[in-house]
Amino acid sequence: MKLLAVRRLFRILRVVIRYRLDDLLLALPLPVWLRVLRFALPWRWLPRRTLNLSRGAALRLALQDLGPIFIKFGQLLSTRRDLLPPDIADELAFLQDQVPPFPAEQSVALIEEQLGASVGEVFARFEVEPLASASVAQVHAAQLKSGEEVVVKVIRPGLRPIIRSDLAWLFVLARIAEKASADARRLRPVDVVSDYEKTIYDELDLLREAANSSQLRRNFDGSPLLYVPQVYWDWCRPKVLVMERIYGIPVTDLDVLADQRTNMKLLAERGVEIFFTQVFRDSFFHADMHPGNIFVSTRTPWSPQYIAVDCGIVGSLTPEDQDYLARNLLAFFKRDYRKVAQLHIDSGWVPAETRVNDFEAAIRTVCEPIFEKPLKDISFGQLLLRLFQTARRFNMEVQPQLVLLQKTLLNIEGLGRQLYPDLDLWSTAQPYLERWMRERISPKSLLSNLQSQVEQVPHLANMTRDLLERMSQPHAEDPPAPWRKRNDHLAVRLVGAALLVGAATLGLTQHIEAWPSWLMLAGGLYLVLRR
């Protein structure tokens, strides 16, 4: 492991020297001692190889030379437009998924090791030449003995030691950058590498991807909007995934889509609807929706259906984040900047001591010029990006779930405008958001929340009984302050639960005026849900 780490270090240094990536760091406002130290770097005294590359292009080519793990890191880094300068982010966005495949015999050997059987025993047909090869896995076409056409995804062999080594050096570089420059600290490189570490290790577990695919398929079962291939669980392992083979048109193949007379306007609008359905209805969204993972079915071009693959990265939001995000977006397009500022403070996304007036003025300064454009020309994703950038000036902490959401929204919006340039994303999204907000306070939703709270009553009663028994013990010491606070909170919730039960009883069994039950319901919900 140590030898591998040292070898990787020399490989990294060789690429850094070749593309003069040290110029990226030295261009920052550095302390004096570091500016002096730059002259001690031996390669800076050597003749410079003229590459005539921009800083973004140099970084992109360096990541390509360093191999699949750095390529994947560059792809993820390109989505952090809230942290990177635009010229670097634009260059990193050119990084492609395709990398040279690894040898077929290694792929077959790993599949057989994982499945505990030869490919001939499991598959009626197995194509040795891969269909596609990406940074962490490659895919082979096959047919099961039962006749189903499938694809077999297999993780590249020997990746974990390389990943551990590469991550170790990425963390070293990130920490050096944070210590060397205030600008680098603002970009939070250590947090970026930490996010990447979690993502890359998650993608190495194909059982996680299979579970995500199954959940997404279940969420859109029977939907005309989105189709997710079936997972064949009997043949899934941590390093092997077998799922239904799909036949669709790559979403970026506009000529073929046009030839089959696809309704492009509806296709673009359905992409937006799929995104908001995943985020707000399901709180479970595909967070790697780049064009390579999206296809269009050939069955009904007049009512086009998307096909999604590669569910290794998914995101979710808490009910609180869902609510604050929807209210933020609605307030934004009404230009109610004060409400936007207050929602950020209420949600805890910015510190509670933030001055609302100052935050409101900053948001107005950034966003007002955007609204001078026609509504259809306003980039929804860029607007959200501007909001987060402004909030960061007021010490907004990086919210990982919102970063994934922003990345996905930028991908969806960019794709939608490519399919149908006149796409008015807001006119598509606004009705959905308003309908979702209404449904949250509908009687059906309130009744569902009431039922879930009533179901907790026996548990709360048992906890209260145990608490009273402990308090009645002779010579019992006074409970510590945190325990007393918890007891007070428990008592309040118990009273609230009792009011909810009373409201349900009055509403369902008594022939009296409705207002007492509604009053008890309101009081009970307040006491149970209050923090």
- Per-residue exposure over 411-429, b if at least 16 CB sit within 10 Å of its own CB, e if not: bbbebbbebbeebbbbebb
* Count of other CB atoms within 10 angstroms of residue 397: 13
- Residues belonging to the chain: 531
The DSSP 8-state label assigned to residue 250 in this structure reads E
Cα distances (angstroms) measured from residue 522 to each of 333, 447, 514: 31, 12, 13
β-sheet with 294-297: strand ranges across: 226-227, 306-308, 294-297, 248-250
Report how far residue 430's alpha carbon sits from residue 332's, in angstroms, rounded to the nearest whole number.
11
**Cα–Cα distance measured from residue 148 to residue 243, given in angstroms and rounded to the nearest whole number:** 10
Neighbours of 161 (CB within 10 A): 12
- C-alpha distances (whole Å) from 354 to each of 57, 346, 383, 394 are 39, 11, 21, 7
Amino acid identity at 342 = Q
Catalytic site includes residue 424: no
Place of tokens 């050119």: 94
Question: Among the options 166, 195, 288, 310, which is catalytic?
Answer: 288
| Residues known to be catalytic | 288
